Chains A and B, each alone.
Chain A
Amino acid sequence: GAGVSQSPSNKVTEKGKDVELRCDPISGHTALYWYRQSLGQGLEFLIYFQGNSAPDKSGLPSDRFSAERTGGSVSTLTIQRTQQEDSAVYLCASSLVASGGTHVGEQYFGPGTRLTVT
């Protein structure tokens, strides 16, 4: 079956512009995560969605970053007024979570969106 897909694969934008990054999780996965990977760095947690629960936004670096997940499936990460330090690869992952919130499965990652802010 299809894995996690992300679009676009590459995005170049000018400083100050807004960008939207899209993630299509694996069908049936109720949990969705966004991470950021800066050049030569590890993966930094941004935000987590699980079912209809309020998202965990504790990793968002500033109020210029926001994300939504419509219909429990597709998610969009929006960065407003982009800055050069926003340049990174943005990775999305999804996983199965059993009813009652017991974690059951690994996180499957998409290929990422490489964002370059000029």
Chain B
Amino acid sequence: GENVEQHPSTLSVQEGDSAVIKCTYSDSASNYFPWYKQELGKGPQLIIDIRSNVGEKKDQRIAVTLNKTAKHFSLHITETQPEDSAVYFCAASRTSGTYKYIFGTGTRLKVLA
């Protein structure tokens, strides 16, 4: 079945350092890959997304890269700040049929001041 693997499950970095979270998906028909940030007691919020016709996308301190051949995509956060501390989820989806997201299991990021 469809599956998304996400690593690492926890990540601690010093403030100002970079953080990288990696995901691998199994459904070769997936062509939309969003990343969500979830703070305690809240629903997930989209922080960045990428479609399969693009290899990289950047938004200020956040970037996502996609290797469609290898079915890998990664989230990169530079110059981390304490407010980046949260749980991050990757997901994969098709843009036809059911648009359900297949989520990774999440990464708890802690930015140490």
Binding between chains A and B: yes
CB distance from A59 to the nearest CB of B (A): 7
Whether A42 lies near B89 (C-beta < 8 A) is yes
The A contact surface, by secondary structure, is strand
Map CB proximity to A onto B1-30 as digits: 1 under 8 Å, 0 otherwise: 000001000000000000000000000000
Contacts of A35 in B (CB 8 A): 101, 103
Q: A4-B43, A91-B43, A111-B43 are in contact. Are A45 and B100 (CB under 8 A)?
A: yes
In the assembled complex, B67 has its CB within 8 A of some CB on chain A: no
In angstroms, how far is the closest chain B Cβ from the Cβ of A8? 14
Query: Which residues of A sit under 8 angstroms from B85, Cβ to Cβ?
Result: none
**Is A17 part of the binding interface, using a Cβ–Cβ cutoff of 8 Å?**
no
Instruction: Please name all residues of chain B whose beta carbon is closer than 8 Å to the beta carbon of A91 when the two chains form the complex.
Output: 43-44
Q: Which residues of A contact B34 (CB under 8 A)?
A: 106-107
A111 with B95, Cβ < 8 A, contacts A43-B89, A43-B103, A59-B100 known: no
Shortest Cβ gap from B83 to chain A (Å): 19
- Decide if B99 touches A95 in the complex (CB within 8 Å): yes
Q: How many residues of A contact B (CB 8 A)?
A: 28
With A95-B99, A97-B99 as contacts: A110 and B49 at CB distance below 8 Å: no
A64 close to chain B: CB less than 8 A? no
| Neighbouring A residues of B96 by C-beta, 8 Å | 101-103
How many residue-residue contacts, CB under 8 A, span A and B?
A: 64
Cβ A111 vs Cβ B103 within 8 A = no
The answer to whether B103 touches A42, judged by C-beta atoms less than 8 angstroms apart, is: yes
Q: Which residue of chain B is the closest to A91 with respect to CB atoms? A: B43
Contacts of A101 in B (CB 8 A): 96
B61 proximal to A (CB < 8 A): no
A33 within 8 A of partner (CB): yes
Known interface pairs A42-B6, A91-B44, A107-B101; 20 further A-B residue pairs with C-beta atoms within 8 A, sorted by A's residue number: A35-B101, A42-B105, A43-B44, A43-B91, A43-B101, A43-B103, A45-B100, A45-B103, A50-B99, A58-B98, A95-B99, A101-B96, A102-B95, A102-B96, A103-B32, A103-B96, A106-B49, A107-B46, A110-B43, A111-B41
B interface, CB within 8 angstroms of A? 6, 32, 34, 36, 41-46, 49, 89, 91, 93, 95-96, 98-106
